[in-house]
Amino acid sequence: MDDALLPDGTYDVFIVDAEDAEPADGSTGPGTTLDLTVTTGPHKAETLMLRSTSWLGDPIDLIGMPATMTVALGIPSIRVDH
């Protein structure tokens, strides 16, 4: 892939791994690091790691969950499909 994470769009993903993440710059609260795999479409089977700027929940509970990743203007966001 080039510098862009994925092209703008909506992607079905699966959370392969998750862990708590310390604040990146000391000014924000703790977050969550996610290892994701795209499950559908032309990018199926691509894997990526994202760090959220907010805590998404207990990492053990997140592993194995489906999620929806939206990329807008090159910036990803995640919604865990509980």
Residue 36 lies in a domain: yes
Residue 44 lies in a domain: yes
pLDDT at 3 over 60: no
d(CA 73, CA 48): 17
Query: What is the domain range of residue 69?
Result: 9-80
**Tell me, what's the pLDDT at 1?**
36
Residue 2 lies in a domain: no
pLDDT tens figures, 57-72: 999 999 999 999 999 9
Residue 29 lies in a domain: yes
Total tally of structural domains belonging to the chain = 1
Residue 4 lies in a domain: no
Residue 39 lies in a domain: yes
Average pLDDT, rounded, for the chain: 89
Residue 25 lies in a domain: yes
The 3-state secondary structure of 9-46, one letter per residue: EEEEEEEEEEEEECCCCCCCCCEEEEEEEECCCCCCCC
pLDDT tens figures, 43-57: 999 999 999 888 899
